Structure 1
Amino acid sequence: MSEVSGQKKATVPLDPFDDNELVTAEDVRAYLTKNPDFFTQYPELVERLTIPHGHKGSVSLVELQSEQLRKKVRQLNYKLNQLIGIAKQNEKIYRVYTDLNVQLLHCQSVSDIQLKLEEVLQERLNLSSVVIKNFRGPHAIPELQRRLFAEKRFKNDSFFFGRLSQHERQLLFGDDTAESSALILLGEKKDLGILAVGSCDASHFTPDMDTLLLKQLQQILNIILPDLLEY
């Protein structure tokens, strides 16, 4: 009977143990795992229990739980701030590409397109280099190199993200820095050329990158380039 209320106190059934059987720490752990409300029924034990702590000596179970909860809150706040930072960066990139696509529609020549790509991608997104390499014309990629790119970099998709060989970097970017690259195959029939974007960061362009914004850029260039190239 409870001394205060006179009501019978709720009890938690214990599994019977043999008189000669020792209760191990694992038994206690298993029991508390199966009965998470044990300390709700015996709250006075919470204040009496002490837990060894590496920095504070012994602390109560309540204090330990409070500290663990504060740690989880700090971790969640850190992750939340990370997500907010990523969201802001993604919004910035989205706005840059949206503005770029609109400006490209007003370009009157391939050189205008090249200048606009350099202005936006290099100056606003801090990428190291950007170039359009045509498949035809006086500065076109040689036919053999074009076939090698098609077989090696565009075998399954019209996009490539990652690191290039030294020969490929030299062919596309010349002496400009391109530790990692994004390559976009241009043309409805994949016959116009390659848009190559380079970064000085070797981990900037990776194979698992999302292609949504670059696919929109590809579509815009596929619309305006044929008339300007006159093929």
Structure 2
Amino acid sequence: MSDISGQKSSPIALEPNYDEALDLSAEAVRAFLLHNPEFFVNNPDILEQLVVPHQEKGSVSLVELQSEQLRKKVRQLNYKLNQLIGVAKQNEKIYRVYTDLNVEILRCKSISEIQYKLETVLQERLNLQSVVLHLFRGPHALQELQRRLIIEKRFKTSTFFFGRLSQHEKQVVFGQETAESAALILLGDNKDMGILAVGSDDASHFTPDMDTLLLKQLQEVLNITMPTLLGY
């Protein structure tokens, strides 16, 4: 198209509208970068020029900030890994203790020998404070009223109890022994043989959500060996 002079007009060069670019929201920029993760790879010069406020170091480059964040994540992952390794080693130790204990109980020739093995292994190798074996029959049997109190309150839905006992319950089960938290195991296929009580000086050692696998195995070994020794 020509102007009044009859000469063709040159195309008008449009300048980029920087005001519109500056109006981009933070969310839009974030969305763009998330959908274009290769942006800084293709534009390394921009990456090196960007600076980010830092509470301790003032302004730092984005590369330096990213490196610091990666180092922090590595430290956190190493810490979690060390925790998991520690838990695994502790679980292996506990597993070996209960395996050895079950074998030793199978070799016992009397109830007093079983009591001694339980005390020795659980107190010395697992650092538990109290181990008491209460029988429901015999000259030293738990009184009927006390037995019913414990069973009706602590064994309503399971043959195991983990947690804290009332002061009266601690007195009945442990006497003067320490038991800030306790594990109670009801013995006998018909729940009529006795209670194995283990106490800790740590109030959080035995908790209701504890796994019962190893104690279940101990319970089964005691249910097999004790009736014969008691003359059931």
When normalised by structure 2's length, the TM-score is 0.88
Tell whether 2:114 aligns with 1:95: no
- How far, CA to CA, are the matches of 2:57 and 2:20 in structure 1? 38
Residues 1:210 and 1:134: Cα distance change in structure 2 (over 3 Å): same
Tell whether 2:225 aligns with 1:224: yes
1:124 is paired with a residue whose SS is helix
- How far, CA to CA, are the matches of 2:181 and 2:72 in structure 1? 38
- How far, CA to CA, are the matches of 1:104 and 1:20 in structure 2? 80
C-alpha displacement of 1:22: 2.2
Alignment of 1:156-171 (within 5 A): 156-171=157-172
Alignment of 1:140-159 (within 5 A): 140-159=141-160
Q: Structure 2 regions of 5+ residues with no counterpart?
A: 1-16
What's the CA shift string for 1:175-204, capped at 9, x where partnerless? 000000000010011110100000000000
- How far, CA to CA, are the matches of 2:43 and 2:193 in structure 1? 77
- Identity over aligned pairs, percent: 72
Aligned Cα root-mean-square deviation (Å): 1.8
- How far, CA to CA, are the matches of 1:215 and 1:20 in structure 2? 68
Q: How many residue pairs were aligned?
A: 216
Q: Structure 1 regions of 5+ residues with no counterpart?
A: 1-15
Task: Please tell me the residue identity of whatever aligns with 2:77.
Answer: L
Residues 1:210 and 1:17: Cα distance change in structure 2 (over 3 Å): farther
Tell whether 2:41 aligns with 1:23: no
Shift >3 Å, 4+ stretches: 16-21
Instruction: Name which one, 1 or 2, has greater alpha-carbon Rg.
Output: 2
Question: What is the aligned partner in structure 2 of residue 189 from structure 1?
Answer: 190
- How far, CA to CA, are the matches of 2:157 and 2:123 in structure 1? 28
2:147 is paired with a residue whose SS is helix
- How far, CA to CA, are the matches of 2:228 and 2:170 in structure 1? 28
- How far, CA to CA, are the matches of 1:224 and 1:86 in structure 2? 32
- How far, CA to CA, are the matches of 1:21 and 1:55 in structure 2? 29
Question: What is the aligned partner in structure 1 of residue 105 from structure 2?
Answer: 104
Question: What is the aligned partner in structure 2 of residue 49 from structure 1?
Answer: 50
